[in-house]
Structure 1
Amino acid sequence: MEVADVSHLLLKLPVDHNTDMECILKTFVAWFLFVAMAAGEMPSAYVLTFTSNTETYEDHMVELQNPLPDWVNGIYVRNGMGVFEMGDRNLTHPFDGLAKLHSFRLTGGSSHVIYNSQFLESNFYKDSKSEGRLAPYLVLGSIVPSFALWDKIRALYNGIDNTNINVVQFNGTTLHALSDFWHSYEINKRDLRTVRKTEPPLPNAGILNYVAPIPASSHPAKEFGTNNYINFYSLVNVLPWQSHTLNIIRIESSTKTELLASIPRIDIPYMHSMASTKDYAIVIAHPVYVNWMTIVRNQDPLDSLEYHADKPTDIYVVHLHTNKFYHLKTDSYFFMHNVNAFQEGDKLYVDETSYSDISLMHAMAFHNIRSGSPQWPDNMHSQIKRLTIDLSTETVEVHNFDTIPGLEFVNTLDLPVINPDYSFQRYCYIYGQVFGDRGLEDVKLVKKDICGHGDKVWFKPNHFPSESWFQPNPNGVDEDDGILLNIVLDGDTRTSYLLFLDAKTFEEINVGYLPTWIPFTLHGRFFSHSCSDDELSGS
């Protein structure tokens, strides 16, 4: 057995948090890892981010180096992965890890935060626990060993169930875990327990539309001035004489929706995000299409994604109050995340992170990132771009942002966040994460100043940050008055910590180390409250 394999097993040993055994085991693991690294046999610590962690915590106190600002009150919730194998079955892509939620309850002036973590009790999770192995469901990549014929049929029937990408609060009240498919799981915000599976009604769906999974966005766009969200969903028609449809919908709650537009399509694009301004919803349908027959044949949705560089990107714009519809086109590319969108007269401005193709998604597979010498494609880096959509001429222009010599890489950020108070309007600062030439082994946090030359970088060797969240100072004057929260893996201690950065200076202002490491998380958000425990008792 390789050293890396032994360490992988040791780090997953169950421990009793109420005994000294935890200390003994972790001391042994630390000694073992030190010897292994000294012998040059240990892969980069970032692999720990993609290592299963079955530990859960309830109201665990995490000490901070400094007291929190008085104005920081609420819960920071993140969604991501917790387990990548079960029994004799293994996942082949990290984006498929069984969903695990993490929360940090912050109280202004306190020198500690309260940490909770729980697995999302999806049907996929519960069936897998019951069977003692990964149950037959569809995932983005695949499950190995391959399913037998009957289990392949079960996987197609069960579909995709693992909502491990994002969290949103519908109707300003109920917290939901989302994926890129049309259903969610309601979560109790106080303790992260799973409440129920929810499927907001689809106004124009027939019985045959539920035969195939229903793609949607894990990043529904907030509707300005309301608690509503705008999302899209795609209906696959299995009858050859009927077209597929791309639908744009308003979500008022998990039980109330309104159809805004239905667009016939001969193909179904895979889309991760969308955008909205004060009056318009914008759906960018890039030419990354889902080949449903590939899914039927091999139960591998990632292999079913086909990028057609020779086809244009369709842009659909819908007025949120009149339902007036526009269809525009631009060059082929792959749009990943919306940064911000705003309108001025007849012009809409959509800032986004984009890629030249989908090769990065394939490069993230376990056989590459766990190899010890992963190979990263030349075009793995994102580019932040601005689309200018002129509704009066129905034209689209694409602009790149200026770079600063020596800091050109800042423009390759992804997982973007901004001051949420500056959504729907002109703004200056984008915060994100940048991969270096060594991919996941070289990760930086960056601040992009699109109005000037104030780009900034945070980097620590062998420390691996995740997506940030910007929490604005309610008494602040400037756009960048606030703090950034980030979960970072410390590759030296092999534990994670909650990092606080001054969003203006990009300097570290606080740290709180956790009792364990947190596997890969994708997205999250901060939910403010007024310090009252009563507000947190429900979902």
Structure 2
Amino acid sequence: MGRTAELGLRALHDEIALDDLPVSGELPGWLTGSLLRTGPAVWEIGGDRLRHWFDGLAMLHRFAFSDGRVSYANKFLDSEAYRAARHKGRLTSREFATDPCRSIFQRVQSLFSTTATTDNGNVNIGVLGDRFLAMTESALPVEFDRRTLKAAGVAYQAPGQLSTAHPHRDRATGAMLNYAAKLGAKSSYRFFRVDAETARPEVVASIPVREPAYMHSFGLTEHWFVLAEFPLVVNPAGLALSGRPFIENYRWKPERGTRITLIDRETGKVGGTFAADPLFAFHHVNSHEDGDEVVVDVCAFDDAQVIKDLYLDRLHGLMRDSAGADALQAAHLTRFRLSPGDSSVITERLSEEPLEFPRINTGRCQERPYRYVWGNGQGSGWFDRILKVDIADGTAIAWSEPDCFPAEPVFVPHPEGVEEDEGVLLSIVLDAKRETSYLLVLDAATLEQIARAEVPHHIPHHFHGGFTSKS
């Protein structure tokens, strides 16, 4: 029986900096820059045990490449949530599925104030001009130094209590584009841009809503914001007074179906609404315009059961269950084809291979037609392979090794590349047998190993990050 992925839920407390990791194989000479990652590293604070994978205190990781060598450093994100937890020896901020005991007044303040939400940026790395941000689903991204990983405080406040950690970059201006939910007596969805120089957010569209849906990401085309409301919704009036953690106030209402709205990026006006079957997704893959139609691709689940799967008590059990009797819910590449002329929707599955944590050749293909998606495939208990899916025919190739659990693969294009898949994939792989992790470098076209760099400790299961050519 193989070793399980459960090691990835073991806390990592040590912070280190190493100038030269042991490398097997040969790193490409053109690969210069840094892979920056964030994710949860600790799920216990004093006597408090956090409840969900999404709740852990954030740790940053940096792999820097130069002249065929790679260095590594990791550091806890020095957020207000982290400092308060260390100082008081307990959780003080409201996280995804863990909420500290507070008075009704404190709950109301936490709900209706952007400054009372967590700044525990454990989901993704954002780029705003020359700034690097650790982001979560709150209104408070934290800026940090890409070399030292030292935090520099909150970069801006989103115009709402909830936001996404999956912003887009405006090709024309370099501004950051993102979504926020403003909760209150009159709730609304808000799309906003953040200027790369001033870091000031500006609302460009506001859509009223009675029961806001939980949305982890959104789509973008050349002319449209794509708002996909899956039927996991909340009543804002009861959110502050329920006494339940944030996500446990949301209710699955499949009778609502999936609602997709196109919002004009320039005018902020609604350009069309569409109704599809009930689905749930964390991640948009890509969206683009195809003549008069709009194509929206997501990694879709049948329902929102996956959120319950990722509570730590259940997740430990899933990871131990090598027979797969109680498997982690799987997502599939799913396409919505929207026809604004008659408001019709065609929904189709692009591949039968389960896939999550999708990545594309962003610089070349974002908002445009594309062919390849890379991501993580899964066994019964956890993500145990890297996949490349050809959406033209749904076929896939895979990389995997026994007792190894790779994180999201990040595509880095060859600087002189011609083909869409010409470049490398960078992934952090947890080796459960050796109880350490390593950086894996794959040929993005073939998924053949090029090199790996060994880290002297394990890196817990984490979420997202990106590559910057700045070393």
**In 2 relative to 1, CA 96–244 (structure 1 residues): closer, same or farther, beyond 3 Å?**
same
- The residue aligned with 2:346 is 397
- The residue aligned with 1:10 is none
- The residue aligned with 2:215 is 271
Q: Which amino acid aligns with 2:373?
A: I
Give yes or no for contact 2:107–2:240 (8 Å, CA) kept in 1: no
The answer to which of 244-253 and 264-273 deviates more is 244-253
**In 2 relative to 1, CA 114–383 (structure 1 residues): closer, same or farther, beyond 3 Å?**
same
Q: Cα deviation per residue 1:361-395 (whole Å; 9 max; x = unaligned)?
A: 11111111224745876681101111112223333
Q: Which amino acid aligns with 1:325?
A: V
Matched, 1:449 2:390: yes
Q: Which has the higher contact order (CA 8 A, sep 6+)?
A: 2
Give yes or no for contact 2:126–2:134 (8 Å, CA) kept in 1: yes
Determine which of 352, 355, 358 is the counterpart of 1:416: 358
- The residue aligned with 2:179 is 232
Give yes or no for contact 2:108–2:240 (8 Å, CA) kept in 1: no
Give yes or no for contact 1:155–1:299 (8 Å, CA) kept in 2: no
Give yes or no for contact 2:206–2:268 (8 Å, CA) kept in 1: no
Q: Which amino acid aligns with 1:257?
A: P
- The residue aligned with 2:467 is 526
Aligned residue for 1:296, secondary structure, equals: coil
Aligned residue for 1:61, secondary structure, equals: coil
**In 2 relative to 1, CA 88–433 (structure 1 residues): closer, same or farther, beyond 3 Å?**
same
Deviation at 1:100, TM superposition (A): 0.4
- The residue aligned with 1:307 is 252
The 5 Å alignment of 1:378-397 reads 380-397=329-346
Q: Which amino acid aligns with 1:432?
A: G
Give yes or no for contact 1:286–1:334 (8 Å, CA) kept in 2: yes
Q: Cα deviation per residue 1:328-360 (whole Å; 9 max; x = unaligned)?
A: 122221122111111133221111111111111
- The residue aligned with 2:33 is 74
Q: Which amino acid aligns with 1:414?
A: E
Give yes or no for contact 2:124–2:136 (8 Å, CA) kept in 1: yes
Aligned residue for 1:367, secondary structure, equals: helix
**In 2 relative to 1, CA 161–376 (structure 1 residues): closer, same or farther, beyond 3 Å?**
farther
Matched, 1:100 2:44: no
- The residue aligned with 1:285 is 229
Give yes or no for contact 1:53–1:82 (8 Å, CA) kept in 2: yes
Give yes or no for contact 1:268–1:290 (8 Å, CA) kept in 2: yes
Deviation at 1:263, TM superposition (A): 1.0
Q: Cα deviation per residue 1:270-323 (whole Å; 9 max; x = unaligned)?
A: 100011112221111112112442553324112112111010222221222343
Matched, 1:52 2:6: no
Bigger proportion of residues as helix: 1
Give yes or no for contact 2:309–2:328 (8 Å, CA) kept in 1: no
Deviation at 1:326, TM superposition (A): 2.1
- The residue aligned with 2:147 is 190
**In 2 relative to 1, CA 124–155 (structure 1 residues): closer, same or farther, beyond 3 Å?**
farther
Query: For residues 328 and 229 of structure 2, what CA distance do their matches in structure 1 show?
Result: 21
Give yes or no for contact 1:294–1:303 (8 Å, CA) kept in 2: no
Q: CA RMSD in A?
A: 2.4
Determine which of 499, 516, 522 is the counterpart of 2:440: 499
Determine which of 274, 278, 282 is the counterpart of 1:336: 282
Aligned residue for 1:298, secondary structure, equals: coil
Q: Cα deviation per residue 1:108-148 (whole Å; 9 max; x = unaligned)?
A: x42x21111111111111011111x22322111126xx737
Query: For residues 384 and 250 of structure 2, what CA distance do their matches in structure 1 show?
Result: 27
Give yes or no for contact 2:405–2:430 (8 Å, CA) kept in 1: yes
- The residue aligned with 1:320 is 265
Q: Which amino acid aligns with 1:168?
A: G
Query: For residues 366 and 286 of structure 1, what CA distance do their matches in structure 2 show?
Result: 24
Q: Which amino acid aligns with 2:370?
A: Y
TM-score (ref. length: structure 1): 0.80
- The residue aligned with 2:101 is 147
TM-score (ref. length: structure 2): 0.91
**In 2 relative to 1, CA 517–312 (structure 1 residues): closer, same or farther, beyond 3 Å?**
same
Q: Cα deviation per residue 1:33-71 (whole Å; 9 max; x = unaligned)?
A: xxxxxxx9xx94411111111111224421211332121
**In 2 relative to 1, CA 379–369 (structure 1 residues): closer, same or farther, beyond 3 Å?**
closer
Q: Which amino acid aligns with 1:283?
A: L
Give yes or no for contact 1:90–1:134 (8 Å, CA) kept in 2: no
The 5 Å alignment of 1:454-469 reads 455-469=396-410
Q: Cα deviation per residue 1:177-213 (whole Å; 9 max; x = unaligned)?
A: 11112120001111111001133463xx7xxxxxxxx
5+ long unaligned stretches in structure 2: none
The 5 Å alignment of 1:165-176 reads 165-170=123-128, 172-176=129-133
Aligned residues: 460
- The residue aligned with 1:22 is none
Matched, 1:161 2:115: no
Give yes or no for contact 2:204–2:266 (8 Å, CA) kept in 1: no
Give yes or no for contact 2:145–2:151 (8 Å, CA) kept in 1: yes
- The residue aligned with 1:5 is none
**In 2 relative to 1, CA 154–494 (structure 1 residues): closer, same or farther, beyond 3 Å?**
farther
Q: Which amino acid aligns with 2:436?
A: T
